[in-house]
Homo-oligomer: A and B are copies of this chain.
Amino acid sequence: MDLSFTAQELEFRDEVRDYLRANLPRHLSEKNRKGLRLDKEDYEEWHDILRKKGWLAVSWPTEHGGPGWNVVQKYIFDVECGLANAPRVVPFGFNMLGPVLLKYGSEAQKNYYLPRILSGEDWWCQGYSEPGAGSDLAGLRTSAVRHDDHYVVNGQKTWTTLGQHANKIFCLVRTNPDVKKQEGISFMLLDMTDPGISVNPIVTIDGGAEINEVFIDNVEVPVADLVGEENKGWTYAKYLLTHERTGIANIGHATAQFESMKRIVNAQTRAGKPLLDDPYFAGRLAKLEIELEAMRITNLRMVAAAAETGAPGPESSILKVLGAKIRQEITDVARRAVGPYALPYIPEAFDLDFDDPVGPDDAAPIAASYFNFRKFSIFGGSDEIQKNIYAKMGLGL
């Protein structure tokens, strides 16, 4: 039993760490550390930096421009990026569509799309959820009807994260309405610049607008943009959802977020006494730190198992739930820490160069983050769906 990384792995970690220290722009890490919002330029700047280093499409094989890392390396990279408050790589092209094309795409699709993902020429978003198909993803209704060499697609997608920046969307669509719902779904690639596609932002509870509704009105999709076989889309969708689940708990980001929160907590006094002298508050913080450390080890155990067996088991569902809960709890403790100063909502304070804060440093986005982070237990398979999965796959119920 040995919880530490091997010398080789530690060397790799140090390489990543050094690289991030030298190359991660401070204005990006500061935005993340403070919980501020990133814009399109921020993401692209970070993508450009990683691309130069060859670390952008981490799960791709070397022949397509990936670094060829193993499970542990990918995990270490994830964690280090999180700890360094690096922006996340927008996953839709690099970590979702890419692996699907690599496994199920035609040679033509791979040759055309993968380089465009890597170069940033195409910015992809995900067309999975629909207004009527959330947890019941397979209940989707967007239809694709074949006409000669193309499909005509009609429907609506929703919760499309960062869809406002995308020029491409991969969609699950119904190609056969007459069979069991999972068996009539296909996986297609659509062009967002098509006049039949319109995007509406959804303003969220925290006042942010990074998710969208996407309306699809008579959009023609060439048969060449069908991925794999018609009506086999559910298989590809599931592959996408369970791919690379070792990073699902976001331990690096959670740890960085915890450290940011702790910094805020440490700076608070109430009526002349350090906040941490309040035993209830100290207890809250300690509990969370313990839960976080437990999750870190639980995640390592899963990575070690995946490194041995090649694929993470059903415990990735547990980690999804834990990861969401812990990140939510961190925002909860943070909002408590600043007391009445959780109340002010000053939109300009979400900009990095805002220099006239109300209340304690970094207090401005705290309440908004608390509300925004509710999404972690909803998106990517809600807690309820994860528990259904684990009850079945993990416990055999």
User: Copies per complex?
Assistant: 2
Chain A residues at the B interface, C-beta cutoff of 8 Å: 279-280, 283
Closest to A282 in B: B279
Task: Give the residues in chain B near A283, CB-CB below 8 Å.
Answer: 280
CA distance A280 to B279 in the complex (A): 8
A94 CB to nearest B CB, Å: 42
Question: Which residue of chain B is the closest to A279 with respect to CB atoms?
Answer: B279
Taken together as a complex, chains A and B put the C-alpha atoms of A123 and B280 apart, in Å, by 52
Q: What's the Cα separation between A211 and B179 when bound, in Å?
A: 54
Residues on B with C-beta less than 8 A from A280 are 279, 283
Residues of B within 8 A of A279 (CB): 279-280
- Closest A-B pairs by Cβ, 3 of them: A279-B279, A280-B283, A279-B280
Bound: A280/B280 CA distance, A: 7
- Report how far A279 CA is from B283 CA in the complex, Å: 10
CB distance from A186 to the nearest CB of B (A): 36
- Chain B's nearest CB lies how many Å from the CB of A259? 25
Give CA–CA (A279, B280) in the complex, Å.
Answer: 8
Closest to A283 in B: B280
3 intermolecular pairs with C-beta atoms under 8 Å apart: A279-B279, A279-B280, A280-B283
- Assembled-state Cα–Cα distance A283/B280 (Å): 9
Which B-chain residue is minimally distant from A278 (CB atoms)?
A: B279
- A216 to B396 Cα, complex, angstroms: 37
